[in-house]
Structure formats: structure tokens, C-alpha cells
Amino acid sequence: MEELDKKYQDNGFKVPEHYFEDFDHKVLERLREMQEKPKPGLRVWKKQAWLVAASMALISAIAYIAYQTAPVTNQEQLSFDNLDPEELIAYENEIELSEDEFEDIIPAYTIDSLYNAEILPVSYEFNEQDLQDIEEEYSALDEEIEI
Amino acid sequence: MQINQPISDQELFKRFVDEGKPENLFRIIMDRFKQKVYWQVRRILLLHDDADEVSQIVFIKLWQNAESFKFNSALSSFIFRIAYNESITYLKHKNRFRSFDELLDSDGHYSKSITQGSEMDGNEIALKLQNALLKLPEKQRLVFNYRYYDDLPYKEISDITGTSEGALKANYHHAVEKIKLFLELN
């Protein structure tokens, strides 16, 4: 301290007149206001909660309107009903589902229409002639094998 | 509640806390410390409006945190530490203060306010010293202010700033040397 002349010790800053006389009053006034007001944390939380709720409601409303009014895209038009039967069979083979699982995924009417359309009717009722033809065919085959 | 006889700062503050923080005792505490707090803050922040705002905050914080004072140190150290912390926080909020090693007045904002504005009373010597102080790194300026203007011992400055006494002495020494050089050259 001794290094510098004490003449510098007046810091030279100006202060408004009567500033220190009013100081206590200003501080006490602010303290009273703080005590009267609800806790700011709670108020902020409430305000934020309202903002969040309002934002969510607005987003939901916009999403609903957009969903209702949006044009149907090609991707949305795809369904099992519109698939080619071959694609369906390929899909079935590929995904390796059990029959029950497959039926759960693909509506029953789709399966019916698929099989009715593509699989030829097969009869298990053989007449006499049919049996004879089969016997002859197998006999000829047996002879060839023996030779 | 009347205080008829001299009472120490510690006793006064203990009564203030024990009696549920009555307003009249808080007025007495403010009377004892408001000018010291204001000038400490003013010398850090330089501008009156900033110092006024922060000084009020210091006493509001003192009222709010009165129960946390442990009576192990001087009440003045407790209050000046609040003043120091609030001043630094205020500076950070104003975004003019990034680190202790950085000059506070790097953009010349305060030099202009002091030399061209209404912050100084026209005392040329004081203005010269303030301009010299603005050239110092922040920590040197703080230590110089506490030692030169407030006559605080290093121990108390250490309590306020959280810096070791050795570092404070070194900072003060550098500050004095730089100020002397500045005053000789100007």
C-alpha cells in the first residue's frame, strides 16, 4: 500500500445524491414483494405445464387433420387383396410361417379366393377303368425294372 | 427491538437470525455494510446502475441465506464473499467476462463509460488510476482494490475470493508494479 501515494485513494466514482439513504428502503421493498409472491419455481412449472399441454393438443390436432386430409399413396394401397397369387405363395414360402400364423396374417377370404382360383380340382374317387390303367402302367414299369 | 449499546457484528447477526429475521435488525446490518458492499461491487463492475442492482441482490441473498452463516468467520467476510460472487455472476451474465486472466475491459466498453460518461466526478488523479486498473488482469485488479481501497488483510481476501494468500500477494505485487509504470508513463 505504501508504494502508491494516498492521494489516489479517492476512487473518483460518482454516486447519485441520497443514494445510500434510499438503499435500505429499496432492498426491503424487494424482500416484501418476494415474500408476497408465490414461489417462482412453482409458477414457472405451472406455466411450463400449460405450455406443454397446449403444445401437445395442437400437435395432436394437426396430426389428425393431416391424416384425415392426406391423399392415399401407392404404398398405402398395397394389401394382400391386391397381390398376385404367385406373390402371395412366394411370400408364404419365404417367411416360413405355420399355417395358423399365415391365416392370422392373411384374411381367410383371400386364401379361399387364391386356392379356388389356382388349384385344379382333384378327385380321389377312381373308377374301375382308372384302377386298371394304373395297374397296367405299374406292371409295365415292373417288367422294365426286372429286365 | 432496540439496540441501545454497541454490539458486535456477530452478536447483531445472531440476534437477527434467532429472532426470526426482523426488519429493524436487518436495517441495522444494512447500515453497517451497505457502503462497503456498494464500493466493493462498484470497483468490480465500475458502472453505478450495475453496482446498485448487485448491491441490492447481495442484501437479499444475505437475508435469504442468513441461517447458513456458521459464525466461524467474520460477518464481513461472509457478506463480502456474497458481494464478490454476485459481482462475478453478474459479469458473466453480461457476457463481458470469460476468465480471470482475460482483461475485463478488452472491448474498451468501460474505459469509454468512465472517460466519456457521467460515472466519474472529474478527479483527474482518480480517473488516471482507474484507467491504469482497467489495464490489469482481473485478479490483479480485484486484489489491488481489496488491499488499497478497503484495507483488507490477505487472509480476508483469501476467504472472499477462495485464492491462496501467496497467490494474492504475488497478484498484488504485479498490480502495484504495473500501476506505477502506467502512472509514470502517463
Distance of CA A88 to the CA centre of its chain: 26
Interface test with A, best of B41, B79, B149 (most A CBs within 10 A): B149
Q: What is the pLDDT of residue A140?
A: 75
Q: Examine residue A95 and state whether it is found in any structural domain, yes or no.
A: yes
Residue A14 banded pLDDT, cuts 50, 70, 90: confident
Question: Are A147 and A86 contained in the same domain?
Answer: yes
**pLDDT, tens digit (0-9, with 9 covering 90-100), for B39-90:** 999 988 888 999 999 999 999 999 999 999 988 888 999 999 999 999 989 9
Contact B39, B149 (CB under 8 A): yes
Contact B128, B186 (CB under 8 A): yes
Query: Which residues lie across from B120 on neighbouring strands?
Result: A13
Question: Are A94 and A58 contained in the same domain?
Answer: no
Instruction: Say which amino acid occupies A126.
Output: F
Range of the domain at A27: 20-69
Q: What is the pLDDT of residue A3?
A: 47
Q: What is the pLDDT of residue A7?
A: 47
- The residue with greater pLDDT, B34 or B108, is B34
**Numbered residues of chain B with Cβ closer than 8 Å to any chain A Cβ:** 23, 26-27, 30-31, 34-35, 38-39, 42-43, 46, 48, 52, 55-56, 59-60, 63, 118-123, 125-127, 129-130, 147-149, 151, 176, 179-180
Q: Examine residue A6 and state whether it is found in any structural domain, yes or no.
A: no
Contact B143, B171 (CB under 8 A): yes
* CA terminus-to-terminus distance, chain B: 55
Distances (CA, A) of A75 to A71, A94, B154, B173: 11, 21, 78, 79
- The residue with greater pLDDT, B160 or A89, is B160
Q: Is the CB of B121 less than 8 angstroms away from the CB of A14? A: yes
Question: Are A64 and A100 contained in the same domain?
Answer: no
Q: What is the pLDDT of residue B19?
A: 94
Q: Is the CB of B38 less than 8 angstroms away from the CB of A34? A: no
Q: Report the mean per-residue pLDDT for chain B.
A: 84
Which of A36, A20, A40, A43 lies closest to B35 in space, CA to CA? Answer: A20
Which of A3, A11, A26 faces B43 most closely, judged by CB atoms? A11
Q: Examine residue A146 and state whether it is found in any structural domain, yes or no.
A: yes
B89, three cell numbers: 455472476
Is the Cβ of A25 closer than 8 Å to some Cβ of chain B?
no
What's the CA gap between A80 and A38, in Å, rounded?
A: 61
Q: What is the pLDDT of residue B106?
A: 55
Q: Is the CB of A12 less than 8 angstroms away from the CB of B120? A: yes
Question: Chain A closest CA to B184's CA: distance in Å?
Answer: 12
Taking 70 as the threshold, does the pLDDT of residue A116 lie above it?
Answer: no
Query: How many percent of chain B have pLDDT more than 90?
Result: 52
Question: Are A87 and A129 contained in the same domain?
Answer: yes
Q: What is the pLDDT of residue A117?
A: 55
Q: What is the pLDDT of residue A122?
A: 52
* Domains of chain B, start order: 8-95 (1.10.1740.10), 100-186 (1.10.10.10)
Q: Is the CB of B59 less than 8 angstroms away from the CB of A7? A: no
Q: What is the pLDDT of residue B48?
A: 92
Taking 50 as the threshold, does the pLDDT of residue B136 lie above it?
Answer: yes
Burial track A24-54 (b if 16+ CB lie within 10 A, e otherwise):
beebbeebeeeeeeeeeeeeeeeeeeeeeee
Taking 90 as the threshold, does the pLDDT of residue B170 lie above it?
Answer: yes
Q: Is the CB of A13 less than 8 angstroms away from the CB of B26? A: no
Of A8-17, A57-66, A115-124, B65-74, the poorest mean pLDDT is in: A115-124
Question: Are A130 and A147 contained in the same domain?
Answer: yes
For the segment A107-129, the average pLDDT, to the nearest whole number, is 60
Q: Report the mean per-residue pLDDT for chain A.
A: 71
For the segment A111-131, the average pLDDT, to the nearest whole number, is 62
For the segment A119-146, the average pLDDT, to the nearest whole number, is 70
- Supply the ipTM of this predicted assembly: 0.76
- Provide the whole-model pTM: 0.58
Domain count, chain A: 2
Question: Chain A closest CA to B23's CA: distance in Å?
Answer: 8
Instruction: Say which amino acid occupies A87.
Output: E
Question: Are A124 and A84 contained in the same domain?
Answer: yes
Q: Is the CB of B30 less than 8 angstroms away from the CB of A27? A: yes
Is the Cβ of A19 closer than 8 Å to some Cβ of chain B?
yes
> Which of A69, A101, A129 delimits the end of a domain?
A69
Which of B26, B149, B180 faces A11 most closely, judged by CB atoms? B149
Query: How many percent of chain B have pLDDT more than 70?
Result: 82
B170, three cell numbers: 504475488
Question: Are A55 and A110 contained in the same domain?
Answer: no
Q: What is the pLDDT of residue A112?
A: 61
Q: Examine residue A49 and state whether it is found in any structural domain, yes or no.
A: yes
What's the CA gap between B56 and A104, in Å, rounded?
A: 74
